Amino acid sequence: MLTATTIAACFSPIRMINSEVFPPFLPKQVEKIKDPFARKLASRIERLPVELSISKNCIMSSCVKPMIQNTTNPLVLLHGFDSSCLEWRYTLPLLEEAGFETWAIDILGWGFSNLEKLPPCNVESKRDHLFQFWKAYIGRPMLLVGPSLGAAVAIDFAINHPEAVDKLILIDASVYAEGTGSLSQLPKFVAYAGVSVLKSLPLRFFATNLTINSLAFDTCLDWMRIGRLHCLLPWWEDATVDFMKSGGYNVTAQIRQIMQRTLIIWGEDDQIIDSKLAVRLHCELPNAIIRQIPKCGHIPHVEKPEAVKNLIKDFIQTNNDLPLFSKQEENVLVSQLE
């Protein structure tokens, strides 16, 4: 049960660092981040108590709460694989400026939640955590936004809890992988060795450079620090290995069952997910529109935040169901999949 003690823990003391106020649970390496948008969003991260129905654990769960509340259904921003709510450092403020009630939630096992008493970090637990968070603090149908693997999280959640999801917004969706595949069969000591490589500076730097087009070295270094910050929490390795060994997300068979109206956003120059899969996703979702962002890589909400904000705003405020491509252009793209 949630108690006064656990709720009071949400308001623990904070520390002042270089004129920014950061919550004390963030790794001290947050001080090295230069990006003012990341620093500002980091200062807004809170932990709220969430009771998991599966494990009966109470998780102090990290999120960014809305600065505004309104009567319309809220936007709820997820993040990609092994990431955090700091992915939304550029786009979340723009969505708030546009008048939307906007949450950014860390998926169980990633981000900055307190996992000292480690729950299972498999798909079922991640789904339960998001549902219990929604039930405790949101309680209205969401416009659920999932980038990369977060799109698989969103699809899985919408299938299992359709009452909680009004619409879906999927960004450079990673939804056709068959879970973690052979990685789930690795001996634990090998899995831990692989996870330590995943946290390594060279790999993180390479991955950051791969996901963004034409990134300057200093910017890439700073964005690598932002993307790696949550890996420095003491339970990160255990949570990541647990997810890897659990088998991960495999939602391919669920895609055609999604009834919610869906916006697919895709970076034209994505080097991580083949653009053919965007067309396939558009064909398989029963009620979807697709929008492409030119000269953009795998994480448009970081690289082209203004474009993402505008696409989300148009999707919410209009009932325009016209596809991005003409029928002839779309037929050409579909034929490439055959």
Beta bridge partners of 77: 104, 145
Phi-psi region of 172 (alpha: psi -120 to 50; beta: other; left: phi over 0): left
Q: Are 264 and 288 in contact, with CB atoms under 8 Å apart?
A: yes
282 noted as active-site residue = no
Q: Which of 82, 270, 282, 301 is catalytic?
A: 270
3-state secondary structure at position 174: coil
Report the alpha-carbon distance of residue 45 to residue 153 in Å, rounded. 21
Instruction: Find out whether 38 and 55 touch, Cβ atoms under 8 Å.
Output: no
Residue 156 bears catalytic tag: no
At residue 132, φ and ψ (nearest 5 deg) are -65, -35
CA 79/CA 88 separation, integer angstroms:
8
Quick check: is 83 catalytic? no
Helix (H) or strand (E) holding 165: strand 165-171
Do β-strands 58-64 and 102-105 pair in parallel, antiparallel, or remain unpaired? antiparallel
Asked if residue 337 lies in contact with residue 330, where contact means CB atoms within 8 angstroms, the answer is no
List phi, psi (to 5°) of 17: -130, 120
Find the catalytic residue in 148, 156, 230, 242.
Answer: 148
CA dist 129 and 107 (Å) reads 8
Contacts 24+ apart (CB under 8 A), 81-85: 81/110, 81/148, 81/149, 81/150, 81/174, 82/110, 82/198, 82/231, 82/240, 83/110, 83/111, 83/148, 83/227, 83/230, 84/110, 84/111, 84/112, 84/227, 84/229, 84/230, 85/41, 85/45, 85/111, 85/112
Enzyme catalytic residues: 148, 270, 298
